[in-house]
Structure 1
Amino acid sequence: MKQHAFTMKLKPGYEEEYKRRHDEIWPELEQLLAESGIRKYLIYLDEETGTLFAYQELEDEHQDVSSNPVVQKWWKYMKDIMDTNPDNSPVEKPLKKVFQLK
């Protein structure tokens, strides 16, 4: 199992909308993520800065779903409330693991 942690940035004032959209995640997106090998996916919000901290546990043989039409549609749906790249993907900053309690 691989671990992946990264940050993203939410635009000011969209905290509740971001949570609402994720509370109503599309079933087809949820299924795609599970089938791709994502076993755990958590997102936390630092309300002071709008920084989103995401953590994933991935199967060793997980699949990249970034070109999947469902993911592309989700990114387009989310682009108005978070920092995004020209292809609508969220701007992500990978984090380096520096500690794990055994």
Structure 2
Amino acid sequence: MKRAAFKMKLKPGFREEYKKRHDAIWPELTALLQEAGIHDYSIFLDEDTNTLFAVQKITGDAGSQDLGKTQLVQRWWAYMADIMETNPDNSPVSIALPEVFHLD
């Protein structure tokens, strides 16, 4: 099993909308993530900087940010694009973070 962490950026003023959308995450998206081996997935928000910090455990070959070729993930990206910093293809600007410490 691998762990992956990355950061993204929420546009100011969209904390509640971001939470609302994730509280109602599409069941088919949850299924896709689980089928890809992604689990124990959490996203935290630094409210001072609007930085989203995500961490996930992965038993498959790729993390959630690698599923962007699927139509479902592309739809999710388009759905979230108005409240996050995104690339031209609507994917979230995502910066992988190296692990420097882990206590099991």
Normalising to structure 2: TM-score of the pair?
Answer: 0.93
Which stretches in structure 2 are left out of the alignment for 5+ residues?
Answer: none
Counterpart code for 1:58: I
- Count of aligned residue pairs for this structure pair: 102
In the alignment, structure 1 residue 99 sits paired with structure 2 residue 97? no
| Counterpart for residue 11 of structure 2 | 11
Normalising to structure 1: TM-score of the pair?
Answer: 0.94
Task: Report the identity percentage.
Answer: 59
1:17-73 per-residue CA deviation (whole Å, 9 max, x = no partner) reads: 000000000011011110011022100000111000000100143474211111000
Instruction: Give the aligned CA root-mean-square deviation in angstroms.
Output: 1.2
Q: CA–CA distance in 1 between the matches of 2:52 and 2:61? A: 26
Counterpart code for 2:4: H
Which stretches in structure 1 are left out of the alignment for 5+ residues?
Answer: none
Could you say if the C-alpha distance between residues 93 and 61 of structure 1 is closer, same or farther in structure 2, counting changes exceeding 3 Å? closer
**1:90 aligned residue (89, 92, 104):** 92
In the alignment, structure 1 residue 33 sits paired with structure 2 residue 33? yes
